[in-house]
Amino acid sequence: MTTTGSGSTYDPPADPAASSAAAAVEQPPPRTDRRVALVTGASSGIGAATARRFAAGGWHLLLSGRDRRRLEETASGTSAVLLPADLAAPDGAKMLAEAALRETGRIDLLVAGAGIGWAGPFLTMPHTDIDRVLFLDLNATLHLVREVLPAMVAAGGGRVVLVGSVAGAVGVREEAVYSAAKAGLAAFAEALRQELRGTGVGVTLVVPGPVETAFFARRGRPYHRSHPRPTSPGRVAAAVWDAVGEARDDTYVPSWLTLPSRVRALTPRLYRRLLHRFG
């Protein structure tokens, strides 16, 4: 910008190349008429199965996980957009939310499915693993929800789905930190649901029992209990689909898993006797 002798200002003709570049930078994100779902932990297990279920239902999918190759497998045959991210990294949640909103301009559904486990006596659990489980299963999820929620509230609608665990409802021995993280997620869901009343944004807590995924191998110990039997990721994905469609606050997979937490609330002594016997 230059100044004339009269004190007024004028802008010289803009350079065409610069104008094109500026227009490209200011161009709004592409819009889609389809509802948009951001699914974390989509490279395998519950996250991958949920992504496929919502893609089949006509949603536009934004898939996140640490393994790009596995994300590509999840996205195969769909129009899903891949957003590889490490939620355990500093600002990982913030960067993922920003990338997702740049891609589509909105997020109608967040399925927070990323998580890890650790099995073994708490007395022998390394401090680094305590921090790792708590950060990814609880802290990173809360940070991601915090980054995504403002756009949902501004739009007047949306839903957050948090993938919990029956371990968070009843506490499982030799999974103390994992149980604590999932219990924290359940309490967060309840509190956040109260805060969001009247905004049009809902919160769903999905509480599965053991699921047939690589989760147990990755945590360092296979699933060895005879009961409850592991269910399939597809069954959990179907429950997520139904819960979102019906705007449910909570859903247990299988549904009878509500029983242990009810027994615990009503008769804690009986619950602990059963827990000591059956684990």
Catalogue the active-site residues.
Answer: 178
The contacts of residue 38 (CB under 8 Å, 6+ apart) are 62, 64, 83, 96, 100, 107, 109, 110, 111, 148
Residue 109's identity, in one-letter code, is L
Q: Give the separation between CA 113 and CA 73, rounded to whole angstroms.
A: 17
Q: Give the separation between CA 220 and CA 126, rounded to whole angstroms.
A: 13
Residue 13 to residues 10, 18, 19, Cα–Cα distance (Å) = 9, 11, 10
- Output the furthest CA–CA distance in the chain (Å, rounded): 93
